[in-house]
Amino acid sequence: MIEICEVGPRDGLQNECKLVTTKDKVELINRLIEAGITYIEAVSFVNPKVVPQMADAEEVLLQLPKDKGVRYGGLVLSRSGLNRALQTDIDYLHVVTTTSDTFNLRNAKRTVNQAVSELTDVIKEGIHSNKRAAGVLGTVFGCPFEGKVSLDKVLFVAEEFLRAGCTELTLADTTGMANPNQVQTVVQACKDRFDKDLSLGLHFHNTRGLGLANTLAGYQAGVRRFDSSIAGMGGCPFAPKAVGNVCTEDMVNMFHGMNIETNTDLKKLLETSKWLENIMGRPLDGMLMKAGIS
């Protein structure tokens, strides 16, 4: 069984020039739920002056259904983000740092060690406030400024987040630099270092066309939780050339073709992608929405 964390409402929309209304964001999430998605990264608690696309996080959460067995995640990058999150009923704090010093210094004005020091306190405080915390590690598979990122640095950050109380980890390929062999190597290193029952997820971008190949490599290495974005939308405002995420319906189609269950309705996912394309007013990147279900 595959668990999908749908990041379209957050990662999918945050890099768009067009500001999607709160009403349409809520409609998107409701459509995803009707298609069977039960884990959604719905919002981001970041500075609205920096990422205005996410400024309405609190309003979105107030309008989401709470009785359909869906868990909602919200991105947290700092203590100020935590303070906003704790004023809402968000289920999971998705606490994020990259694992590259250069990337972190350029975008957060702090080293990885400095970020870990602050964010481990954020994790502990969030858990003390009855939230659950999932750690998200960016640039795991490569940094656009440094190139290769040390696996030791990745494992260090992962260990600190787990020690602080994270119940899940997601390894993110921030700018789509991963390849399938590398994915299997990194996943195996995490399995060797940490408890074999660690809930490990993967987050890929399709910048160089390897998103689904890397997803399959992760599956073959034993991972069963994957981030993806409806219609292949996505990108990072702080990362050059970071294009869309792995496309949800394309990924579901791949797994269904392999007789691997996802508990989602592929037809409804396609309908949602086409609806979203109309909302955005431009062609989106998903492939299945163009080719159709065979």
Q: In 10 A of CB 78, how many CB atoms?
A: 20
Gap between the Cα atoms of 248 and 229, Å rounded: 5
Contact 9, 25 (CB under 8 A): yes
CA 147 to centroid of chain Cα atoms: 21
Relative orientation angle of helices 248-257 and 266-280, to the nearest 10 degrees:
160
Q: In 10 A of CB 274, how many CB atoms?
A: 13
Relative orientation angle of helices 266-280 and 22-34, to the nearest 10 degrees:
170
Burial of 283 from C-beta contacts in 10 A (0-12 / 13-18 / 19+): exposed
5 has catalytic annotation: no
Return the closest-CA partner of residue 40 out of 18, 55, 25: 25
Q: 28 in helix, strand or coil?
A: helix
The 8-class DSSP code of residue 8 comes to I
Exactly one of 143, 166, 190, 236 is catalytic; which is it?
Answer: 236
Gap between the Cα atoms of 110 and 127, Å rounded: 24
Catalytic site positions: 236
